[in-house]
């Protein structure tokens, strides 16, 4: 039986001293980090387990799954990080601190015995990053060298992790999606015609030849590394100056050019071709919501650099020992097909389960039946473990 649910505003606050102001207003610029979220609680029955959702840069309470889980009898806490709806300055190490404060709040203030991280999309790699540092903390500074001591933070481990339509990392996604035809970061119209995926005169067509794909992927990695080198050079230049200027913003043009969006033969699944979760890939490639379109230098290293970002789900999963449920959507129009399985395989837990929901797209858009399957998988998995 489906339960009615109550919505409760949740405020989590904790002190933090930072050398750089990176969030606007009262969120984290006054020596205190303030986080907001919503607790969806069934009106009937009592449950001492809560599912906690956090995305690095979005809010998730309006997704259909949290409400459906609450109607099925489980409280769901949807919390925003300090960078909610603006990832320009996002530092993953600080998001881990935000998530840690929410785990602690859920247990100490809200009274839940068990906290299960439900990592949706980009929240999947965040959940694994957090859990790995809570179980085995190693980090004392950001990739830019700024102090963020996760070893001393005493992060509370969650009791379990669910991955739902989750990718391995934002850095991996950017590397897979960035347009390798851009030859000049200051002039996105200067492009290599051989690698301009959307050019009408591109000499190849789907199914793309394997040798061209190898060249395309290598050029994508090379572009990300060039940007990373520019970021590091600029940071070093600012440090050597010794003045009060410590950061700069940057624009990264054309970041949605993955051949998988146009060629269903590449890592095939049920995804629609010619479409991505943000719309028409060619339009998104130069639009305002493309990955990493606007970024600060430090955020690039922590969030987008394949060599420097620590929030890699596959890597972090190796240090995770709590029960794991991984759910792949076979028609996911955002997450690369192999990612969920790779994180499941890498997980160090002895208790790990993998399921696939046939035909499910990224957001369950227009798919109440597929969403119902996800609710059954998650609640059944939780009850089997006494939660």
Encode pLDDT of 159-169 as tens digits: 999 999 999 99
User: What share of the chain has pLDDT > 90, as a percent?
Assistant: 93
On whether the CB atoms of residues 179 and 346 are closer than 8 A, the answer is no
Residue 5: in which H helix or E strand, if any? strand 5-15
Q: Are 37 and 8 in contact (CB under 8 A)?
A: no
Residues 6+ positions from 97 with CB-CB distance below 8 Å = 14, 16, 33, 148, 150, 153, 155
User: In this predicted structure, what is the pLDDT of residue 28?
Assistant: 62
In sequence order, which residues have a C-beta less than 8 Å from that of residue 386 and are 6 or more positions away? none
| Residue 304: both structure tokens together | 């987008």
The pLDDT of residue 161 = 99
Nearest to 100 by CA among 142, 57, 129: 129
Phi, psi of 49 (to 5 degrees): -115, 135
Which residues sit opposite 118 in a β-bridge?
162
Residue 180's nearest CA partner among 211, 228, 217 is: 217
Q: Are 27 and 80 in contact (CB under 8 A)?
A: no
Question: In Å, what is the CA distance from 315 to each residue of 131, 207, 222, 310?
Answer: 12, 31, 22, 8
CA atoms within 13 A on the CB side of 302: 27
Residues 6+ apart with CB under 8 A from 219: 180, 181, 192, 195
**In this predicted structure, what is the pLDDT of residue 321?**
98
Contact between 329 and 360 (Cβ < 8 Å): yes
Q: What is the structure's pLDDT at 23?
A: 75
pLDDT at 311: 98
Distance (Å, whole) CA 25 – CA 83: 12
pLDDT digits (tens, 9 = 90+) for 76-93: 999 999 999 999 999 999
Give me the count of residues in the chain: 387
Residue of 20, 105, 103 whose CA lies nearest to 299: 20
CATH 3.40.50.1820 location in the chain:
5-169+309-384
In terms of Cα–Cα distance, which of 99, 49, 55 is closest to 75? 49
Residue range 5-169+309-384 forms a domain whose CATH class is: alpha beta
pTM of the model: 0.97
**Which H or E element spans position 346?**
helix 339-346
In 63-72, which positions are buried (b, 16+ CB within 10 angstroms) versus exposed (e)? Answer: bebbbbbbbb
Distance of CA 6 to the CA centre of its chain: 27
Low-confidence ranges of the chain (pLDDT < 50): none
Neighbours of 327 (CB within 10 A): 24
In sequence order, the β-bridge partners of residue 32 are 15
Strands 32-42 and 76-80: antiparallel
What integer pLDDT is reported at residue 2 of this predicted model? 65
């Amino acid at each position: 039986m489906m339960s009615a649910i109550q919505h409760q505003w949740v405020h989590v606050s904790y002190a933090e001293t930072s050398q750089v102001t990176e969030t606007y207003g009262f969120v984290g610029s006054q020596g205190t980090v303030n986080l907001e979220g919503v607790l969806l609680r069934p009106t009937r029955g009592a449950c001492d387990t809560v599912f906690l959702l956090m995305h690095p840069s979005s809010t998730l309470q309006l997704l259909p799954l949290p409400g459906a889980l609450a109607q099925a009898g489980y409280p769901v806490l949807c919390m925003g990080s300090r960078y909610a709806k603006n990832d320009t300055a996002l530092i993953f190490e600080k998001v881990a601190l935000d998530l840690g404060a929410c785990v602690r709040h859920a247990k100490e203030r809200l009274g839940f015995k068990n906290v299960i991280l439900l990592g949706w999309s980009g929240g999947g790699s965040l959940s694994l990053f957090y859990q790995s540092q809570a179980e085995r903390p190693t980090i004392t500074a950001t990739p830019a060298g700024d102090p963020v001591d996760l070893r001393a933070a005493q992060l509370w481990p969650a009791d379990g992790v669910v991955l739902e339509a989750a990718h391995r990392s934002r850095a991996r996604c950017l590397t897979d999606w960035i347009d390798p035809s851009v030859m000049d970061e200051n002039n996105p119209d200067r492009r290599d015609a051989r690698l301009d995926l959307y050019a009408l005169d591109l000499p190849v067509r789907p199914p793309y030849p394997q040798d061209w794909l190898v060249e395309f992927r290598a050029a994508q990695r090379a572009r990300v590394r060039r940007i990373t080198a520019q970021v590091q050079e600029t940071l070093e230049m600012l440090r050597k100056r010794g003045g009060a200027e410590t950061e700069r913003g940057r624009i990264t043009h054309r970041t949605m050019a993955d051949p998988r969006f146009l060629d269903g033969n590449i890592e095939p699944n049920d995804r629609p071709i010619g479409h991505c979760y943000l719309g028409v890939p060619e339009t998104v490639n130069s639009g305002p919501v493309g990955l990493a379109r606007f970024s600060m230098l430090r955020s690039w290293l922590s969030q987008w650099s394949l060599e420097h970002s620590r929030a890699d789900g596959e890597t972090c999963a190796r240090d995770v020992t709590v029960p794991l449920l991984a759910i792949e959507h076979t028609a996911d129009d955002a997450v690369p097909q192999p990612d969920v399985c790779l994180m499941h395989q890498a997980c160090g837990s002895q208790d790990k389960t993998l399921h696939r929901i046939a035909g499910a797209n990224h957001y369950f858009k227009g798919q109440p039946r597929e969403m119902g399957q996800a609710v059954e998988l998650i609640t059944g998995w939780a009850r089997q473990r006494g939660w």
